[in-house]
Chain A
Amino acid sequence: MNDQPKPILEMLGITKRFPGVLANDHVDLELYPGEVLALLGENGAGKSTLMNILVGLYRPDEGEIRMRGQRVEIHSPRDAAALGIGMVHQNFMLVKTMTVAENIILGLSDLPFVPDLREVSRRIRELSQRYRLQVDPDAYIWQLSVGEQQRVEILKLVYRGAEVLILDEPTAVLTPQEAQELQGVLRIMTAEGKSAIFITHKMEEVMTFSDWVRVLQQGRLTAVRKTGETSPQELARLMVGREVLFRLDRKDCVLGEKVLELHSVSALDDRGLPALREVAFDIHGGEILGIAGVAGNGQSQLAEVVTGLRRTAQGRILIRGKDLTHASPLELIRAGVSHIPADRIGMGAVGNMAVADNLAMKGYRGSPLSERGVLRPRNILEFAKRMIEAFRISTPTPNTRIKFLSGGNIQKAILAREIDACDGLMVAVYPARGLDVGATEAVRKMLLSQREQGLAVLLISEDLEELLTIADRITVLFAGQIMGIVPSAETTVEMLGLMMAGVPLADLPALGTHDPTPGSSPA
């Protein structure tokens, strides 16, 4: 009878309502010891909400949670930790101005009032060896790379003796190699009988990381599959509710004139340290140049320099042959440069303003949106309606405040505005970050259509699949330097990963090993 292992964790009929949203609708979940469960779903499907309930940050409106068969009430993260449940949040829960050791013992009550940090460090070293999570316990968080910070988060959980680890989109910030290491860490843990829940919206990760997968769609559990018995295609269909095109149609394009040229451009970051070192490349019309790299290696500074938001310390920037090195953002806009910033709500849109006003924010300087400095509301509304229709922005009305739209629709609105104003160069920074499959597809299609219309696109992305599918050439930035520029048809994820880790293209092993037939690699 009882030969089957008992689940360590069960969630039964969990329901959570937010004002106007049913975030979780009677969701069930089962987790067995030594197992990795993938929780797959688009943004807003309710994955994070479900997990926040599990760690006691939210209270469910209905349903119950059982741990080792016992019904439990989780009122706070402290309760969850006491039950052995811990979570690595998407935005790391770390205090930047404190050391690794201090962060790890934060909130622990079974320590002496004056903790012996040397003893704590010793235990951390022990654990980091056991789980291959290399990190210096005495380093400050702000000194660590994002990958290292994630290790600290995981160490924090194992230090507290967590049996159930929840990882919220853990690979979004990692290089492919780091993601592989994470997989190794999870293997060691599951071998010890710990289990993990892995939140993601990427099908490939479900396939490599998990034993079981549960798919959420609009707050409801729509499918439970054994990972070995499903495919990325099936998962995508289950997640979105329709067939998804994995392969976008990238037509051959005729290269136009040189639109953007960078001649050994250097720039400093906010702290006055070098962020870009002699970066040089050019982009022609009808071409997408992808910039790959782990976040924080100069990508945002590159975008800022090209859009006039950051001072160029050295070197020259030419647009259509015209020297615009120290031009202001407005001069660059007038030169035809459009910008899709990484921070959608912070930089791309004004959250408290209407969709229509956000759409008009570039064209408002002249006719027909304004006449002699006075806005023409009727023309703005007309324009907005046209944009909403053309770019399929889903909004209740053009006058809705843009912050109430989903991330995907905000991004579509920004794209609509920028594409409409673009006349030469489009600078897109993480344009599909955090978007669901459907919106991602739409954004990528729009960028491709820009290319087909002969515009130059500078695409900064952390998604290598994205770069490989839509970019013509890929450049890797590491510590502000270019590691190499390669045609995307002749490169692989592994090559890019090595360059992202700081190996220049020239030092890479011979390229003969990669699959020479384009189109045969899986999506």
Chain B
Amino acid sequence: MSVFALISSILTITLRAGTSLIYATVGEIYTERSGILNLGLEGMMLMGAVTAFATAFYTGSLWLALLVAVIVGGLLAALHAFLCVTMRANQVVSGLSITLFGSGLASFLGQRLGPASNNYFLVGMVGPKFTPIPIPFLNSLPLIGAFFNQDILTYIVYLLMPLAWFYLYKTRAGLSLRAVGESPQTADAMGIDVVRTRYLYTILGGMLTGLGGAHLSLAYTPGWTENLTGGRGWIVIALVIFAMWNPGRAVLGAVLFGGINAVQFRLQAAGTAIPAAFLNMLPYLTTILVLVVMTWWEALSKRIGAPAALGKAYMREEK
């Protein structure tokens, strides 16, 4: 295999592996920009994945499956928003609870929603899936071709990224969103509805996360297994920091992690002397490294960082 072909194939896998991460990262960036920390991503992703796969398996409709994943993600996020915004509960506790709840429920559903012939297990079932749609001519270009040999959800990401960036930095709504996460008092005094904004973007974040989960079970894997996400929900939390809450940079992190995944798969397939367990560990090890480096860097530059009001409940008539 030529070097070009090797790089090209790694790049193709990288983008496929990164897609679910990008959906969830963009979603979480929007949520955190409104000042709400959502640690329930892992649970939402798993729920999105299992419900999407079950829907596709029984109805055969991939689009209906996506819709279900989006709704499920949105509902779990709405619960999180209710707890954190309306009840002003501790956001970390609420998020962790949702992850535990979502993981458990997804696992349960995976053992109950399957066909009777498979003991009602979804594991091992084959359903419809998103397949790569090569774009003629473009997909045969060297290297760049990897970008044009992807499934439709990855193509949508190409549109989503710049849109998400533009919306956040160039529109009135994006300005209001950023203000709510930085200084809810200011936003409130300027007539922006803090509660509505936080609900809206927490739910939007959950929807995108559900969609990310659906990509895993409908395109990347495809299929359902226990713990399908393999901690991707947690990696996304780190990717948000790596992206410095900028959706335009989310692609860097997703590609970095997708790339590590792709490379380690290649290495495992090629039969290297490095133990598989060690290679499997790489993405998580990188997460830790990224967090250390980013925190250190943030301390140096001081300005770039989390939305100032991240994780803090807001209440107007505080005396």
Interface residue ranges, A against B (CB under 8 Å): 18-19, 21, 55, 57-58, 76-78, 81, 87, 89, 91, 93-98, 102-103, 105-109, 111-115, 142, 270-272
Contacts and interface: CB of A to CB of B under 8 A. Distances in A.
B182 A106 contact: no
B173 A77 contact: no
Interface of B: 170-173, 175-176, 178-179, 182-183, 185-192, 300, 302-303, 308, 316-317, 319
B191 A95 contact: no
Contacts of B190: 77, 93, 106-107
A98 B173 contact: no
Contact of B183 (A77, A78, A93): A93
- Chain B interface, >50% SS class: helix
B189 to A, nearest CB: 4
Contacts of A102: 175
Given A93-B183, A142-B303, A105 B189 contact: no
A78 B191 contact: yes
A95 B33 CA distance: 13
Given A95-B182, A106-B176, A111-B172, 7 more contacts: A57-B189, A76-B191, A87-B189, A93-B183, A93-B186, A115-B171, A115-B172
A143 B186 CA distance: 18
Given A98-B182, A105-B175, A58 B317 contact: yes
Contacts of A78: 191
Contacts of A106: 175-176, 179, 186-187, 190, 192
A96 B179 contact: no
A113 B182 contact: no
Given A77-B191, A111-B172, A114-B170, A95 B179 contact: yes
A89 B183 contact: no
B189 A89 contact: yes
Contacts, number: 79
B189 A77 contact: yes
B98 to A, nearest CB: 29
Contact of A95 (B170, B178, B303, B319): B178
A106 B179 CA distance: 8
Given A81-B191, A106-B179, A270-B302, A95 B186 contact: yes
Contact of B171 (A76, A103, A113): A113
Given A113-B173, A115-B172, A107 B185 contact: no
- Chain A interface, >50% SS class: loop
22 contacts: A55-B189, A76-B191, A77-B190, A93-B186, A93-B190, A94-B186, A95-B187, A97-B182, A97-B303, A98-B175, A98-B178, A106-B176, A106-B186, A107-B187, A109-B172, A109-B191, A111-B172, A112-B172, A113-B171, A113-B172, A113-B173, A114-B170
- Greatest chain A CB density within 10 A among B178, B185, B189 is at B189
Given A77-B189, A77-B190, A114-B170, A96 B182 contact: yes
B192 A271 contact: no
Nearest to B192: A107
Given A93-B183, A96-B182, A142-B303, A57 B188 contact: yes
A112 to B, nearest CB: 8
Contacts of B178: 95, 97-98
A107 B196 CA distance: 14
Given A57-B316, A106-B176, A107-B176, A114 B171 contact: yes
Contact of B185 (A19, A58, A93, A112): A93
Contacts of A91: 185
Contacts of B317: 18, 57-58
A94 B189 CA distance: 10
Nearest to A97: B182
A265 B183 CA distance: 36
Contacts of B191: 76-78, 81, 107, 109
A81 B188 CA distance: 12
Nearest to B182: A95
Nearest to B307: A97
Contacts of B175: 98, 102, 105-106, 115
Contacts of A58: 317
A323 B18 CA distance: 59
Contacts of A142: 303
A43 to B, nearest CB: 13
